[in-house]
Structure 1
Amino acid sequence: MSKETFVFTSSTLRSLRLQREMLEWEDRQRAASRQYASRRYQLASRSPLLLPKPARRTQYCRDPAVHNALYTGDLPGVQSIFKDETTANMIVETTNEELVWSAELGLWVLTPQKKQTSPLSITAARGYRDCVKHLLLQGAQVDAVVGGRAALHESCANHRAECTRLLLGYGANVNILSEEGLAPLHLCSTQESLPCAQLLLEYGALVNQNTRDHRASPLHVAAKHGLDDHMKLYLCYGANIAHRNREGETALNAACAGADRPEDAGRYYRVVKRLLDAGADAQTAGRKNHTPLHNACSNCHIRIVKLLLQHGAEVNVSNCAGYTPVNCALQAVEDYLEGEPEKVIAALLDHGAAPINPKMLKFCALSPEVMEVVLNSYDRIPSCDSWVGAVPPELWQLFGLSVPEVLEKNVKHQRFYNSVLRLVNQPRLLQHLTRCAIRKQLGVRCHLGVAELKLPSSLKDYLRLPLEGCLK
């Protein structure tokens, strides 16, 4: 049909033109695709390396013989089993029975738990250097995170310095994060791990890298575990002592809170001293508004308490529960009866601690020494109703015990508590009232002012609230 026999409108003509242009464009696209495919085939035929490699299928191993070779470091066995990249990157799967709480049964039950790891992680964690090297030479992925950790995490957590050096030499990521958000440097948490920490920093570990969840730095970890050598190392590499974790705590807060065992007192004292000498703020409050002094008093650590006081720690600041450092020390008396808690209380009072609420006396009822220091800070003995019930009956009277040490202790305690009862709501000696007035006048300078007074040494000692075994 021609234009002479059929009337075409302008819109019809435009549609036909557009349709023709679309068909021509599609023909050009198909021709270009065929040309590209032909050229790619020619290149691939000349160089097989350019062909896409099929994805490697992950293999799982539950064979006890393979597990035994890895966990015992049997190098000939490892060499005979792991001969290529596929076997070197297999996932080792174990099943252990673990106690799990069953809400349905209302008791703890043994439940099989599957755990996964890699051959490289197993051997690195146990320090089998030759096995680690063989696996790496067979193509084991040095940064593979299997079961939550990479091999470098395991070698550092188990202080295997030679394996750590080998992994780093093969290009391990020094700042790789585990599934928990921990870098290898965060896992250097024992004294034996110091060589690993040194290696990590030499290979470029970030000394101020934070954990993902708690935002704790390696300095926090070292402070928490009382690692003075680690602290020194990190500070030399520029660790930030003012960094605060997600709860607002600095490394100084962590160190003072971690010193909760008397046998570890010495090393935590060295850590705290190093931090304070480096410029750490003794008044920074952390979790629940606990300052370093709150934490040290809760652990009845007299040397750390005195050190913090020397660096300007505030004695009358309250935490979120309204407790001052003195209150924290009193609440810890029962747990640290052998730690001389009375010296902690006396040091705080000498630095201007506010008068102690008589309701807190119940916490020191088991320690006549602490009770004596606290009661001597009053100008009169308050009612004993709040604390007398907390004293065990055997301390009030003698039972004729045959052991001399126990008998002597009971006599001493009975003498003290009886002297307290006699003075309840009774006036104290003028000498004691004078002592209270002088100490109140000196206030926060009491620890320094007493030494400057022109008084005989015996009177100066009396002003420092010495223990006498009874109240007068």
Structure 2
Amino acid sequence: MAHESFAFSPSALRSLRLQRELLERDDRRRALARGWTERRLLPGTPPSPPRRRQFCRDPAVHNALYAGDLRRVQSIFRDEATANVVLETVSEELAWSPEQGLWVLSPRRQHTSALRIAAARGYEDCARHLLLRGAAVDAVVGGRAPLHDSAAAPHPNCARLLLAFGADPNVLSADGSAPLHLCTAPQSLRCAELLLAHGAQVNLGTRDRQVTALHVAARQGLLAHVELYLHHGADPSLRTHQGETPLNAAAAAAERPEDAERFLRVAERLLAAGAEPGAAGRKGHTPLHNACANGHPAMARLLLRHGADAAIPNGAGDTPMDCALRAVREYRQQRPEETLTLLLDHGALPAHPKMLRLCCQHPPALEVMLNAYDRVPPADGWVEAVPPELWEEHQEFYASAVRMAGRPRRLQHLARVAIRRHLGARCRAAVPRLALPPPLRRYLQLPIEGLIS
């Protein structure tokens, strides 16, 4: 029996291999802990000299990593020195040469690490092999650490592996971003959860701009991320260096009509968490300025309901009404007349008559604005901007607007203007409760009738 061998089953071999990897990982952790203790806790121990970086430009090595070829990776990266080699690629790019006065091809070098490549592509087995061979888990090569790449990809399996090997969840990239700042896709929610579970600072701002993870999630319209961060103590009142809050970011990013609903949900959640609806950010823009500029009546209604000022000017002196009028042409399919009526119902003053040129090609918006005056302004400021085909399509409306320009309005309209001015910002809430017949209450709310009389 001494010369006989015992045949291991495949499952037994896998268990032995896993046990060996766990032992190697524990040895690696203990070695790192000893090194950290010697450097940080023993004052008499001289710091270890910085290791000189080794560079690799071999395409075969790069291809093995990018393809996730575990066998080749195992044969190439056998020790700590090879696991930490810097991979360099050189590409030719056009660059302007002032000396020669022309565009020339200039070499551009890009650096990365083997662990970064594996983490960015979700090659968990390759990443585990590199870590067991001593790859520095937090090494920032080419501007990022491996954890940045796994969060940005996103690849939760690699993020979990890196964190298990002691990766710093708050490691900063060359531009001052933490991994949590790179969770910008809906699929990155699991990565964000892992990072927070391992100690990521939810209110940490980027180094230069002080953008937090909540700013990023709000700007991307990621409701699940917003709720996760708020649950972990994210502060919705934190501002960037430009003064923007997460609510500013959400309102500014809601530019496309197809994204309006998800940004609205994000804004609702932020306001429920205590976000300030009137916080002025970059160039003095409030969230209401942004909502009006993006032709988003539902967002404007939400902000106004939470107390946003409908008449506040931004840094350039523009009010939300000015922003809404400038957006009429681009967002005419989004019923911009609703936004204009909302602003007027919450105390906004009618825009200067010269602004009518901005909404004259959308008859419902022009009607709302003309009915906000006690006397229709002269038409010469906008009538020439109406295309002939549009005039022909809405001839009855445009003819009535030109006919009434400069003439006294009906007593009924003058009474409407007087009541609305008296109520001011209370119009929206007070008019439906007035003891008046329903047709009169509706008349006070500036309904679209298709005529100016």
Alignment TM-score > 0.5, same fold: yes
Aligned runs of 1:301-320 on 2, under 5 Å?
301-320=296-315
Note if 1:442 corresponds to 2:437: no
| Aligned match of 2:154 | 159
Secondary structure at the residue paired with 1:114?
strand
Structure 1 pair 99–339 and aligned structure 2 pair: CA distance change class (3 A): farther
| One-letter code aligned to 1:468 | E
Distance (Å, rounded) in 1 between the aligned partners of 2:344 and 2:49: 75
Q: State whether residues 361 and 371 of structure 1, in contact with CA within 8 Å, keep that contact through their aligned partners in structure 2.
A: yes
Structure 1 pair 56–299 and aligned structure 2 pair: CA distance change class (3 A): same
| Aligned match of 1:459 | 440
Structure 1 pair 97–465 and aligned structure 2 pair: CA distance change class (3 A): farther
Of 277, 282, 300 in structure 2, the residue corresponding to residue 282 of structure 1 is 277
Identity of aligned residues (%): 57
Note if 1:134 corresponds to 2:129: yes
| One-letter code aligned to 2:427 | C
Structure 1 pair 107–430 and aligned structure 2 pair: CA distance change class (3 A): farther
| Aligned match of 1:389 | 384
Distance (Å, rounded) in 1 between the aligned partners of 2:317 and 2:333: 27
Q: State whether residues 56 and 86 of structure 1, in contact with CA within 8 Å, keep that contact through their aligned partners in structure 2.
A: no
Deviations 1:9-47 (A, max 9, x none): xxxxxxxxxxxxxxxxxxxxxxxxxxxxxxxxxxxxxxx
Distance (Å, rounded) in 1 between the aligned partners of 2:238 and 2:71: 49
Quote how far apart the aligned CAs of 1:390 are: 2.5
Quote how far apart the aligned CAs of 1:105 are: 8.0
Question: Gaps (5+ residues) in structure 1?
Answer: 1-49, 398-410
Structure 1 pair 97–329 and aligned structure 2 pair: CA distance change class (3 A): farther
| Aligned match of 2:18 | none
Distance (Å, rounded) in 1 between the aligned partners of 2:116 and 2:101: 37
| Aligned match of 2:37 | none
Of 259, 263, 267 in structure 2, the residue corresponding to residue 272 of structure 1 is 267
Note if 1:355 corresponds to 2:336: no
| One-letter code aligned to 1:417 | Y
| Aligned match of 2:166 | 171
Distance (Å, rounded) in 2 between the aligned partners of 1:201 and 1:255: 22
Of 315, 319, 326 in structure 2, the residue corresponding to residue 331 of structure 1 is 326
Deviations 1:283-341 (A, max 9, x none): 11111111111111111111111111111101111111111111111111122121111
Aligned runs of 1:136-215 on 2, under 5 Å?
136-215=131-210
Question: Gaps (5+ residues) in structure 2?
Answer: 1-44
Secondary structure at the residue paired with 2:190?
helix
| One-letter code aligned to 2:402 | L
Quote how far apart the aligned CAs of 1:355 are: 2.3
Distance (Å, rounded) in 2 between the aligned partners of 1:117 and 1:108: 28
Quote how far apart the aligned CAs of 1:392 are: 2.4
Higher mean C-alpha displacement, 261-270 vs 460-469 = 460-469
Structure 1 pair 53–386 and aligned structure 2 pair: CA distance change class (3 A): closer
TM-score by length of 1: 0.83
Structure 1 pair 144–248 and aligned structure 2 pair: CA distance change class (3 A): same
Of 99, 106, 116 in structure 1, the residue corresponding to residue 111 of structure 2 is 116
Structure 1 pair 288–103 and aligned structure 2 pair: CA distance change class (3 A): farther
Aligned runs of 1:393-472 on 2, under 5 Å?
393-397=388-392, 411-412=393-394, 414-472=395-453
Quote how far apart the aligned CAs of 1:263 are: 0.7
Deviations 1:64-94 (A, max 9, x none): 1111111111111111111111111111111
Quote how far apart the aligned CAs of 1:364 are: 1.1
Quote how far apart the aligned CAs of 1:394 are: 3.0
Deviations 1:409-445 (A, max 9, x none): xx23x33222211111112222222221221122111
Larger Rg: 1
Structure 1 pair 381–55 and aligned structure 2 pair: CA distance change class (3 A): closer
TM-score by length of 2: 0.86
Note if 1:295 corresponds to 2:290: yes
Q: State whether residues 350 and 446 of structure 1, in contact with CA within 8 Å, keep that contact through their aligned partners in structure 2.
A: yes
Secondary structure at the residue paired with 1:446?
helix
Of 245, 256, 261 in structure 2, the residue corresponding to residue 250 of structure 1 is 245
Secondary structure at the residue paired with 1:95?
strand
Deviations 1:133-189 (A, max 9, x none): 011111111111000000000000111100000000001111110000001111111
RMSD: 2.0
